[in-house]
Amino acid sequence: MTLANSLFKYIFVLAFTLSCSQNNKYITLDGDTMGTTYIIKYSKNAISENKLKLGVNNILKNINTQMSTYDLDSEISSFNDMPADSSIKISDDFYYVLEKSKYYYDISNSQFDITVNSLSAIWGFNNRVFTKPSDKLINTTLNIVGFDKIELLDDNRISKKNSELEISLNAIAKGYALDKISQYFDNNGIENYMIEIGGEVKVKGENPNKQDWVIAISSPDSRNEDYLKFIHLKQGAMATSGDYRNFMIHDSVSYSHIINPKTGYPTTNNVVSATVIADNCIDADALATILNIMDINKGIQLINRLDKVECFIVERIGEKFNYYYSENMEKYIN
């Protein structure tokens, strides 16, 4: 077994703000969160840098307290540990993210599934010790997973039908965190900003050069360290998901880290990268994951049905790459 990259998570995008270090009208905030890093660039206003950073860190702390599986006292950990047919009351934010997760579970024909972590675990993707499970174990685990085993009840209460069912919000929580910070900046009158957490980005207004923000997507070709595309955004969010820096090799066969929750096996659609642009990052985050699982043509059709959403998909066939675009995606690419 070979782990193809020593970093199990990889930042697929980098936000470029040329000459930012020479522009004293913009401030940079950075820190650690959600097992990765964040960086924020924004135009100065009357609110102090320390106050804004405290607000950002409080938002991230609250989300981790609700939705981090690494916090054993978090709301999500309490849900994962509780028995079937009981219920707990959760925060508004957590409940909203679960509602969004159910929406994407429904429109993706259950291919976006926050209960898939149990399947990732039996393949060894959670601890990077790859183990190819037996068909029997996969089938047994498939009987445990599925958002249809979660009940969203009144008064922010949630329940589950199987005690072994657990959820993870890795494919949607970072996007929601970006939206919350963006809302915080908007409420404080900040007109220009770029917020990035672990490679997902939300922007508004202009960069320090009084131009659109420019976001680079890294190349999927391991022989080429250059960037694949440059995305220009004035307002909105972008998320990129893929396996070209995150997969396992076992007996000369490459296995994606992204599990199809309908089959219990790693995806086989040859997608190595999917980038989504949307108004909100919670949507871009979830849809980028869906496009890594879904048939490419069906994925493009799904995006084209959605309002104000665009995508760019990279398919690898042998040593060659094919590119697919939603109807209006190319207008963002330079």
Q: What's the pLDDT score for residue 3?
A: 31
Same domain? For 243 and 275 the reply is yes
Q: Do 183 and 275 lie in a common domain?
A: yes
Query: Has residue 91 been placed in a domain?
Result: yes
**7: containing domain:** 2-64+172-332
Residue 272 predicted with pLDDT over 60: yes
Residue 184, helix vs strand vs coil? helix
CATH of the domain at 86: 1.10.3980.10
Q: Which of 102, 133, 160 is the last residue of a domain?
A: 160
Q: Please indicate, yes or no, if residue 110 is contained in any of the structural domains.
A: yes
Within a domain: 245: yes
Q: What is the Cα–Cα distance from 275 to 325, expressed in whole angstroms?
A: 10
Q: Does 134 share its domain with 210? A: no
The confidence score (pLDDT) of residue 224 equals: 63
Residues 60 and 194 in one domain: yes
pLDDT band at 256 (very low <50, low <70, confident <90, very high): confident
Cβ count within 10 A of residue 290? 24
Q: Report the alpha-carbon distance of residue 85 to residue 121 in Å, rounded.
A: 24
Taking only the tens place, the pLDDT of each residue in 199-228 is 899 999 999 999 999 998 888 776 665 778
What CATH number should be reported for the domain holding residue 274?
3.10.520.10
Same domain for 312 and 289: yes
Same domain, 294 and 229: yes
- 2, amino acid identity: T
- Residue 228 is predicted with a pLDDT of 84
Length of the chain: 334
Quote the pTM value: 0.91
The number of folded domains in the chain is 2
- Domain-terminating residue out of 160, 194, 218: 160
